[in-house]
Each structure stands twice: as structure tokens, then as C-alpha cells.
Amino acid sequence: MLRCFILVVIVSALMLISSTAHAQFVRISYGGTSGYNVPLWVTHEAGLFKKHGLSAELILISGAAPSMQAMLANETQFANTSGSAPINVTLQGADAVIIASSYDLIPYGFVVHKEIRSPADLKGKRIAISRFGGVTELAVKIALEKWGLSSKDITMIQAGADAQRIPAVQTGAVAASVLAPPGLFRATALGLRTIADISEMGGKYPTSTMFVMRSYLAQNRPAVKKFLMAFTEGLHVYAQRKDFSMAVMQKYTKLQDQEVLSKSQDYFVRKTLLVPLTDPAAVKNALPDKALGRRPEEFYDNSILQELINEGFVDSLGKRPR
């Protein structure tokens, strides 16, 4: 009996070693600590990439340009960014393609210094965004348009991540900024006021997408399929296991405030797509003026996710696509 038990243990160990040895290694970049990155972190921390045959490493790369450079150099194979990054590089001649979109609204609050009482008070003031050409710039423009203002009425400055923009608003170095949870709730916990929720102002936008290079997709389609199986399952874990998701968010953001973490989870999970099919309407809204005449379908590929739906994988997770 003891010999049989030892044999079973040895065989199991060899199977585990073999499985790990044959797992395809991939690097996945993400652009910051906003709450729409949490499903990727959850997927990794829950061991789902490993479960589906990938050995994955997550890398924080701030900014679309460095992220794209890493992708072009094949230092990373997948990236979690806003849709503007793959769209813009594709327009410049690269072959990037969006393979999944988990959040297609604009999850930003317009946060202001205590001296700002109404949108009209923003005239002539400085507003901090993370970078030009990204979703934070678009969020500011959408809010200004709703208030009857234009970009000419204010001065936008590029100020980096939440950790730089929140103190800038606090001290009055800038009059306002746009922040996504958990940074948004961190700012309000510090006493800053939110004068608008931009996600409620209408319109879709590919805020959180996964993209690869088309050449990588063509040569490694099985690996991309494994990635999407893991990520889709991760979205379900994210939605169903709040305590686990909050713990993961705390690990990656270094935030200790449980109320901020809880509010951030609740904010995003309500409208996160558990089956991350890309909506052409969201991509269309992200196309810049220079993309005149280009079709949204040129910038994304839903085919592998559709395979997972048709094969019953999505139903096996207990949630039908919506």
C-alpha cells in the first residue's frame, strides 16, 4: 500500500513538472493602477493563466509609447491598455489588434479644487491629465462639451499618474483632474469634490482592452485562445469573489483603505463585460479624425472569443454573454 501511495505521488509530481515545462511563457503589460486593470491582476493571482497552459508575467509599463515599443520588440506579447493605443499605432502602420474589451465606458470622475464651485469656474484654469492622446484627455473634452465649454477655455497639462495628479489638485497647482477608481475614491476621501461622473454623460469607449500584434496572433493563435480562456474566467472570478478581488487590488495599488477598495470594486463590477467582446460602437468613438473612412472592424478581432462562446466554454463559466 505504501509503495502504491509513493508511486501515485511521484507520477503526480512528474505530471505537474511536465505541465509547467510545456507552458508557453508570455509577458503581459498593463498601464497603471486604475480599477479597470483589476480583472487582469485577478486572473493572474487566481492562477488561471497557469490553469490554461500559460506561464505569465505581468509588467507595469506607464504610457502608450513605451508599452507599444515593448510589444514591437516582442518583449511583451499582450497588453492591457485603453483602445486608443492599438488604434493609433495601427493608423501609423503597425499591425496591432484588439482581442478583448472588458470595460467600454469612461469611468472617470471630474475632481476639482475647493475653490471651483461650478464648471464655469474652470475657465482660464489648468486641468491635469495623465497624458495627451489618451482617455483622460478625451474624458476632459467630453465633460467640457457637456458644459458648453471648449479646450480653448482651459489649459490641459500632462501630469502623469494619479499619485501626481491628486496632490496637484489638493494644493491648487491645478484646478481639476479626471480620476478613475480607486484613485477617484482616494481623492474624495481626502476631501476633494467630484462635480461630474463622466461615465454617466453617455457614449461608449474602449477604456480597457487587451491587444496583441496581428503577426503574433497569426503565429500563436492557440496561445491567444488560452489567454482569452484564462482572462474570461478571470472576469467571472472578479465579479463573483469580491473579497479576493479587493485583496488583489490592495496588493497592486498599495491602498490600505478598505472602503476605497470596496467602492472601487462596486463601481467597476456593475458594468464590466464578463464576456469581453469588443463593441464596434466603442471603437468608432475612439477613432481620431485622421481615421476618416476607416471601419471599426479593422481594429479588433472577436473571432476567438466567438469560438469560446460557440464551443460552450462561456456557458461552462455559468454566465451567458451579454
Confidence band of 16 (pLDDT split at 50, 70, 90):
very low
**Is the pLDDT assigned to residue 4 strictly greater than 90?**
no
pTM of the model: 0.80
pLDDT given for residue 307 in this prediction: 98
> HEC string of 235-284?
HHHHHHCHHHHHHHHHHHHCCCCHHHHHHHHHHHHCCCCCCCCCCHHHHH
**Is the pLDDT assigned to residue 15 strictly greater than 50?**
no
**Is the pLDDT assigned to residue 68 strictly greater than 90?**
no
Q: Do 154 and 98 meet the contact criterion of CB atoms below 8 Å apart?
A: no
**Is the pLDDT assigned to residue 1 strictly greater than 60?**
no
Q: Do 274 and 319 meet the contact criterion of CB atoms below 8 Å apart?
A: yes
pLDDT given for residue 22 in this prediction: 72
- Taking residues 38-57, report their average pLDDT: 98
pLDDT given for residue 20 in this prediction: 46
pLDDT given for residue 3 in this prediction: 52
The grid coordinates of residue 50 equal 497557469
Angle in degrees, CA 222, 44, 199, rounded to 5: 100
Most confident region among 36-40, 69-73, 161-165 by mean pLDDT: 36-40
- Taking residues 259-263, report their average pLDDT: 93
Q: What beta strand segments (E) does the chain contain?
A: 24-30, 54-60, 78-81, 96-103, 109-112, 126-129, 155-158, 176-179, 193-197, 208-213
Most confident region among 2-6, 75-79, 180-184 by mean pLDDT: 75-79
Longest CA–CA span in the chain (Å) reads: 82
What one-letter code names the amino acid at 217? L
Q: 173-220, pLDDT tens digit by residue? A: 999 999 989 899 999 999 999 999 998 887 789 999 999 999 999 999
- Taking residues 51-74, report their average pLDDT: 91
- Taking residues 104-133, report their average pLDDT: 93
d(CA 172, CA 216): 46
Q: Please state which of the ranges 14-18, 40-44, 142-146, 232-236 shows the lowest mean pLDDT.
A: 14-18
Q: Which domains does the chain have, with CATH numbers?
A: 23-105+205-316 (3.40.190.10), 109-201 (3.40.190.10)
Confidence band of 321 (pLDDT split at 50, 70, 90):
very low
